[in-house]
């Protein structure tokens, strides 16, 4: 029986299809089952030739495959631009998200273009993990006839800059694939680099003999990429209003967590549970004044920023990151200021790493003042980027609102409290009716099951609970009958149980089947989510056997890794597998979209 269940889990049919098939089987007589067998056999044989021909024709015509491996949406936007340009010029190509890519068919590819971001500690985006693991395995075939190009997106202030793109590039070369041009690693300001790379890429494709080999139509040398603007996106945000800004942690909690409601009435905005909200924030006025005063720069001094003449104050308010320090910033400021203390720090990599971790940018400047120009200042600052927050509401239930859960970032240095840029802005600067610039970041990799009878297991720590609040609202609205189980962890029950009343109401209502809570600081021995998962290991395995989808939301480097180890332990023990087989089993769940993570 156990082997049969494992077979069902890994069958070529999806879980929803298997469930529907079993329901149909239970209602049919032996004669009806025999008739259905013949009926489906006839359909399969009738359509197989035409399907095969259609697939072969598509493979023949589609020379270029563009894979988008995105974490915050930038790689996806660039992939869409490249796809639209090729299509506009009548060049056969296809665009596919990494999560949907049938990577075992990579040997059939002709030209593969990968636009990929890097997350966490040099890791590929969540949606590209299955592709990455396959490519690094021994199962991948030789790729001697594949041509490829990689455009990596990253942040040069991190040690493992664009590491995901580098790893893919190295592995493809090991497998014999042919690089059309050297991999390009782009920093935060990627627009000019992207235009140069794309122009060179198309030029090389046009010039090389592979055009004749693949019968590619002639590429235009002109790089007039279409900046496709979807209504309300990162470059064209909506202007919405704050309707509620409420602290939802207790008086004695060490965490300041806000529940924020945003009014989108009269705005043509739609979203789905699992999506994220992008927020363009503004830097704190006192922070800006402190930096400018330390550098002897007048607030009204004019600068030229992207061909616009504005004051340095306005530039720092809206266009530059001021709350995150980096090694590159320290190096450049030490060079401009000629400060001996900072020069000593920069000369020692270990000291520099620790200094960046412990010293906010404003403290570095305030404690080591210098007279530098506005142009020098903005030359080493990073451009301001929007912050993404998992949406904590279902539009089906709350209509013209978007809810988010914001953990306020706080650091104390030299007896001063420093807040995170976006979280400080959202928690301290915005009151009811204040305006805010927002956009929806679609996340198709983190969706509820289509079959409303499918059970789900939700695993979250801290503000990672936000998307699961949206999930429960949606399941409630849909009348879903699938079982729901949440694992949630935070320091203290009395102070940090986010949305406590709502979860207890779902339990009373019967919508929430099970709730397992881990309060790490409420007892002598710390208890974390992974401990609770192991404690209920047999039951978790039973849910998996019955088709449950698993969702994880939280910190990528700590919580999510510990949770995955706990799941592997459960799979190995209950499925009588070694750790390698357990890894493969869990990866198969990921491929079948039954194991989904939204980590940061």
Same domain, 430 and 485: no
What's the pLDDT tens digit per position in 387-439? 999 999 999 988 889 999 999 998 877 677 888 999 999 998 888 889 999 99
Nearest alpha-carbon partner for 129 in 169, 92, 160, 164: 164
- For residues 162 and 255, state if they share a domain: no
User: How open is the CA angle 378-379-384, to the nearest 5 degrees?
Assistant: 55
- Claim to verify: residue 374 and residue 327 sit in the same structural domain: yes
CATH of the domain at 267: 2.40.30.10
Please tell me the distance from the alpha carbon of residue 478 to that of residue 52, in angstroms, as a whole number: 38
The crossing angle, in degrees rounded to 10, of helices 537-545 and 2-9 is 60
pLDDT for res 220: 37
For residue 21, how far is the Cα from the chain centroid?
34
Q: Residue 91 CB: number of other CB atoms within 10 A?
A: 19
Q: Is residue 530 part of a domain?
A: yes
Do 197 and 119 reside in the same domain of the chain? yes
Angle of helix 129-136 versus helix 163-174 axis, rounded to 10: 40
Is 477 a residue whose pLDDT tops 60? yes
What pLDDT score was predicted for residue 24? 62
Q: Does 70 appear as a known binding residue?
A: yes
Predicted pLDDT at 516: 97
Question: Residue 42 class from Cβ within 10 Å (0-12 exposed, 13-18 middle, 19+ buried)?
Answer: exposed
pLDDT band at 55, cuts 50/70/90? very low
Of 154, 152, 174, the closest CA to residue 165 belongs to 152
Question: Does the annotation flag 20 for ligand binding?
Answer: no
Q: Which helix (H) or strand (E) holds 473?
A: helix 466-478
pLDDT value, residue 573: 96
Q: Is 548 annotated as a binding residue?
A: no
Paired sense of beta strands 401-407 and 257-263, if any: antiparallel
Report the CATH number at residue 94.
Answer: 3.40.50.360
Instruction: Give every CB contact of residue 546 below 8 A, 6+ residues apart in sequence.
Output: 455
pLDDT of residue 2: 46
Regarding whether 404 and 277 lie in a shared domain, the answer is: yes
407 is in an annotated binding site: yes
Q: Is residue 61 over pLDDT 70?
A: no
Cα-based distances in Å from 227 to 81, 96, 323, 342, 387: 6, 19, 30, 42, 22
373: annotated binding-site residue?
no
Higher pLDDT, 485 or 206: 485
Average model confidence (pLDDT) across the chain: 86
Between these two residues, 224 and 523, which has the higher pLDDT value?
523
Q: Which is nearest to 173 in space by CA: 152, 154, 150?
A: 150
Residue with tokens 């002709």: 110
Can you read off the two tokens belonging to residue 94? 């296809």
Residues 98 and 170 in one domain: yes
- Residue 259 within any structural domain of the chain: yes
pLDDT per residue over 496-549, tens digit each?
A: 999 999 999 999 999 999 999 999 999 989 999 999 999 999 999 999 999 999
Q: Which residue has the tokens 């989808």?
A: 549
Would you place residue 159 in the very low, low, confident or very high pLDDT band (cuts 50, 70, 90)?
confident
Residue with the larger pLDDT of the pair 213 and 358: 358
> Residue 230 — pLDDT band, cuts 50, 70, 90?
very low
Domain boundary among 334, 364, 383: 383
User: Is residue 270 in some structural domain?
Assistant: yes
- Cβ neighbors of 544 (< 8 A, separation 6 or more) are 9, 550, 571, 589
Task: State mean pLDDT over 206-231.
Answer: 45
Annotated ligand binding at 516? The verdict is: no
Is residue 39 predicted with pLDDT exceeding 90?
Answer: no
| 305 and 364 belong to one structural domain | yes
Over 50: is that where the pLDDT of 6 sits?
no
Q: Say if residue 316 is in the same domain as residue 407.
A: no
Domain membership of residue 132 (yes or no) is yes
The structure tokens listed for 9 are 């889990």
pLDDT of residue 165: 93
In a domain? residue 337? yes
The rounded distance, in Å, linking the Cα atoms of 58 and 125 is 28
Cα gap 437→238, rounded to integer Å: 6
CA 498/CA 465 separation, integer angstroms: 8
72 is in an annotated binding site: yes
Q: Is 595 helix (H, G, I), strand (E, B) or coil?
A: strand
The pLDDT value given to residue 62: 62
494 known ligand binder: no
Is residue 461 domain-shared with residue 425, that is, in the same domain?
no
Same-domain pairing of 549 and 561: yes
Alpha helices in 89-182 (DSSP H): 129-136, 163-174
- What pLDDT, on a 0 to 100 scale, did the predictor assign at position 1? 47
**CATH number of the domain that residue 336 is part of:** 1.20.990.10
139 labelled ligand-binding: no
The response to whether 390 counts as a known ligand-binding position is: yes
| Number of structural domains in the chain | 5
454 is in an annotated binding site: no
DSSP class of residue 496 equals: H
Domain extent, residue 336, equals 284-383
Q: Determine the average pLDDT of the residues in 323-332.
A: 94
Could you report the per-residue pLDDT of 534-573, keeping only the tens digit for each?
999 999 999 999 999 999 999 888 899 999 999 999 999 9
Q: Which two tokens stand for residue 433?
A: 């009716």
Say whether 304 sits in a helix, a strand or coil: strand
Interatomic CA distance for residues 552 and 421, integer angstroms: 26
- Residue with the bigger pLDDT between 211 and 97: it is 97
Instruction: Tell me the DSSP string of 221-278.
Output: S---------SSBTTB-EEEEEEEEEE-S-TT-S--EEEEEEE-TTS-----TT-EEE
Q: In this predicted structure, what is the pLDDT of residue 93? A: 85
The first and second tokens of residue 416, run together, are: 């001063």
Q: Indicate the residue among 334, 362, 383 that finishes a domain.
A: 383
Determine if residue 530 is labeled as part of a ligand binding site: yes
Phi, psi (degrees; rounded to nearest 5) at 263 = -85, 120
What lies within 8 Å, CB to CB, of 548 at 6+ separation is 454, 455, 456, 457, 483, 485, 594
Q: Are residues 155 and 125 in the same domain?
A: yes
Q: Binding residue per annotation — 420?
A: yes
Does 17 map to a domain? no
Segment 263-280 shows an average pLDDT of 93
**42 belongs to a structural domain:** yes
Token readout for 110 is 């002709």
Is 462 a known ligand-binding residue?
no
**Can you tell me the distance from the alpha carbon of 204 to that of 183, in angstroms, rounded to the nearest whole number?**
14
Other beta carbons within 10 angstroms of residue 379's beta carbon come to 11
**Residue 53 has what pLDDT?**
33
Residue 337 labeled ligand binder = no
In a domain, 116, yes or no: yes
Q: Is the pLDDT of residue 74 over 60?
A: yes
Q: Known binder of ligand: residue 359?
A: no
* Contact assessment for residue 404 and residue 392, using Cβ atoms and an 8 Å cutoff: yes
Q: What pLDDT does 157 receive?
A: 84
| Contacts of 482 by beta carbon, 8 Å cutoff, 6+ apart | 449, 451, 452, 453, 454, 455, 456, 475
Q: Is the dihedral of CA 309, 313, 319, 320 positive or negative?
A: positive
User: Domain of 488: which CATH number?
Assistant: 3.40.50.80
Q: Among candidates 356, 304, 300, 299, which has minimal Cα distance to 330?
A: 356
Q: Is the pLDDT of residue 209 over 70?
A: no
pLDDT at 354 over 60: yes
pLDDT attached to residue 229: 34
Last residue of a domain, one of 21, 42, 57: 57
| 155 annotated as belonging to a binding site for a ligand | yes
Q: Where are the beta strands (DSSP E) in 360-432?
A: 382-383, 387-390, 401-407, 410-413, 416-419
Other CB atoms within 10 A of residue 399 CB:
10
Q: Is 405 labeled as ligand-binding?
A: yes
Q: Is 527 annotated as belonging to a binding site?
A: yes
* CA–CA gap between residue 356 and residue 324 (Å, rounded): 9
Within 13 A of 598's CA, how many CA atoms are on the CB side? 29
Q: How far apart are CA 567 and CA 547, in angstroms?
A: 15
Question: In this model, does residue 383 exceed pLDDT 50?
Answer: yes
Q: Is 423 annotated as a binding residue?
A: yes
Residue 63: band (very low, low, confident or very high) from pLDDT cuts 50, 70, 90? confident
pLDDT digits (tens, 9 = 90+) for 279-315: 999 999 999 999 999 999 999 999 999 889 999 999 9
Average pLDDT value for residue range 370-399? 94
Percentage of the chain lying above the pLDDT 90 cut: 66
- Whether residue 300 is annotated as binding a ligand: the answer is no
Please check whether residues 299 and 408 belong to one and the same domain: no
Instruction: Please give the residue that has the higher pLDDT: either 3 or 160.
Output: 160
Q: Is 575 annotated as belonging to a binding site?
A: no
3-state helix, strand, coil in the chain (%, to 5): 45, 20, 35
Contact assessment for residue 301 and residue 374, using Cβ atoms and an 8 Å cutoff = yes
């Amino acid at each position: 029986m156990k082997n049969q269940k494992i077979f069902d889990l890994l069958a070529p049919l999806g879980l929803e299809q298997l469930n529907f098939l079993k329901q149909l089987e239970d209602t049919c007589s032996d004669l009806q089952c025999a008739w259905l067998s013949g009926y489906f056999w006839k359909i399969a044989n009738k359509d197989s030739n035409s399907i095969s021909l259609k697939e072969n024709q598509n493979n023949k015509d589609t020379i270029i495959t563009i894979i988008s491996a995105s974490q915050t949406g930038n790689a996806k936007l660039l992939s869409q631009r490249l796809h639209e340009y090729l299509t506009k010029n009548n060049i056969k190509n296809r665009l596919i998200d990494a999560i949907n890519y049938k990577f075992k068919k990579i040997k059939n590819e002709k030209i593969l273009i990968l636009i990929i971001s890097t997350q966490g500690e040099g890791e590929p985006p969540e949606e590209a993990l299955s592709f990455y693991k396959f490519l690094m395995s021994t199962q991948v075939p030789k790729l001697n006839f594949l041509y490829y190009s990689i455009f990596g997106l990253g942040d040069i202030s991190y040690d493992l800059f664009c590491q995901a793109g580098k790893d893919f590039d190295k592995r493809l070369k090991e497998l014999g694939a042919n690089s059309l041009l050297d991999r390009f690693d782009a920093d935060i300001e990627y627009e000019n680099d992207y235009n140069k790379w794309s122009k060179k890429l198309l030029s090389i494709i046009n010039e090389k003999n592979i055009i004749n080999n693949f019968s590619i139509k002639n590429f235009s040398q002109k790089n007039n990429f279409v900046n496709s603007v979807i209504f309300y996106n990162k470059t064209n945000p909506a202007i919405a209003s704050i309707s509620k800004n409420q602290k939802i942690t207790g008086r004695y909690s060490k965490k300041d967590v806000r529940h924020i409601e945003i009014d989108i009435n009269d705005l043509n905005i739609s979203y789905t549970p699992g999506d994220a909200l992008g927020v363009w924030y503004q830097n704190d006025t006192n922070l800006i004044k402190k930096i400018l005063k330390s550098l002897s720069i007048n607030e009204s001094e004019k600068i030229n920023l992207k061909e616009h003449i504005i004051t340095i104050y306005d530039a720092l308010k809206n266009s530059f990151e001021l709350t995150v320090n980096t090694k590159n910033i320290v190096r450049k400021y030490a060079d401009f200021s000629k400060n001996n203390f900072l020069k000593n720090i920069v000369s020692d990599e270990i000291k520099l790493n620790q200094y960046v971790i412990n010293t906010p940018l404003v403290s570095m400047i305030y404690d080591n003042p210098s007279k530098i120009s506005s142009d020098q200042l903005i030359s080493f600052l990073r451009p301001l980027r929007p912050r993404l927050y998992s949406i904590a509401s279902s539009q089906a239930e709350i209509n013209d609102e978007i809810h988010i859960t914001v953990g306020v970032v706080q650091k104390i240095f030299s007896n001063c409290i420093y807040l995170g840029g976006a979280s400080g802005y959202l928690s301290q600067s915005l009151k009811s009716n204040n305006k805010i610039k927002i956009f929806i970041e679609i996340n198709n990799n983190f969706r509820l099951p289509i079959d409303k009878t499918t059970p789900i297991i939700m695993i979250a720590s801290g503000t990672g609970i936000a998307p699961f609040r949206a999930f429960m609202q949606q399941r409630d609205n849909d009348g879903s009958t699938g079982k729901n189980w949440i694992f949630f962890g935070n320091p203290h029950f009395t102070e940090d149980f986010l949305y406590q009343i709502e979860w207890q109401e779902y339990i009373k209502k019967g919508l929430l089947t099970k709730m397992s809570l881990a309060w790490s600081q409420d007892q002598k021995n710390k208890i974390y989510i992974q401990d609770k998962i192991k404690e209920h290991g047999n039951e978790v395995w039973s849910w998996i056997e019955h088709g449950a989808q698993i969702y994880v939301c939280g910190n990528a480097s700590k919580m999510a890794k510990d949770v995955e180890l706990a799941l592997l332990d459960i799979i190995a023990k209950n499925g009588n597998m070694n750790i390698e087989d357990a890894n493969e089993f869990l990866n198969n769940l990921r491929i079948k979209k039954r194991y989904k993570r939204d980590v940061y």
